[in-house]
Structure 1
């Protein structure tokens, strides 16, 4: 059974979703490919203490790598891409082409981009660390402004450095 809560963040409200007690979704407001609210299950903030603590530490620049159990629902290819995203170090970026090459399929950069866009656990599975071939910001489900702010956060080592 799914349950959810909504928490505040420097990037606006974040909806956290768990299935059978394991995080399966982190969605921003007005996020592209955001599931319908009714699929999130009832509100229950009791399941998300560790997630909230780690997100707070990440936003403060104190956490570089999340250590949470995740339940990623998608196709086998999507799950492979999402696992590759988790291997991109904090503060670094990769291009879609570099990810495709790392996955052993250098011609799959568009497919990697599509899978990246369907990432159900934003921030924790760091799809914001993927950029265009020339280093430019390209699509981000939470909006390019948020993507830039998340990259700035990681480069500066904490959200307080952004203001």
Structure 2
């Protein structure tokens, strides 16, 4: 890919796309940093411990260390999404990693006991997990956008 193609790629990228990716980046950075606190480590433990693919890690490392690893992963993905504005290969890989992260997070709705409850006759859940539906779509856009330039 030559420099002119890269220049056109970034100039032709829509404001909506950039804003969507920026929203995901800010959220990942913010939540990723918060994962280094004892409060967030304790808050995510019930989600992670009940997940069949990742709950086993608590057998080997502490609740805080698991949270730190998840936080670091989120921060790295956020940085990768930013770099993806300038490097399509990094953007493509970061989009895939973000997609896997958000699918895993959304799957907590199915793996965590007592996630779904009836409140005043309305089925409710931990609504903060539902943001990942939008984040999955942004991740797919990042993958599609960058794939055509690598």
TM range (shorter): under 0.3
Comparing both structures, which one devotes a greater share of its residues to strand?
A: 1
Structure showing greater Rg:
2
Comparing both structures, which one devotes a greater share of its residues to helix?
A: 2
Q: TM-score w.r.t. structure 2 length?
A: 0.28
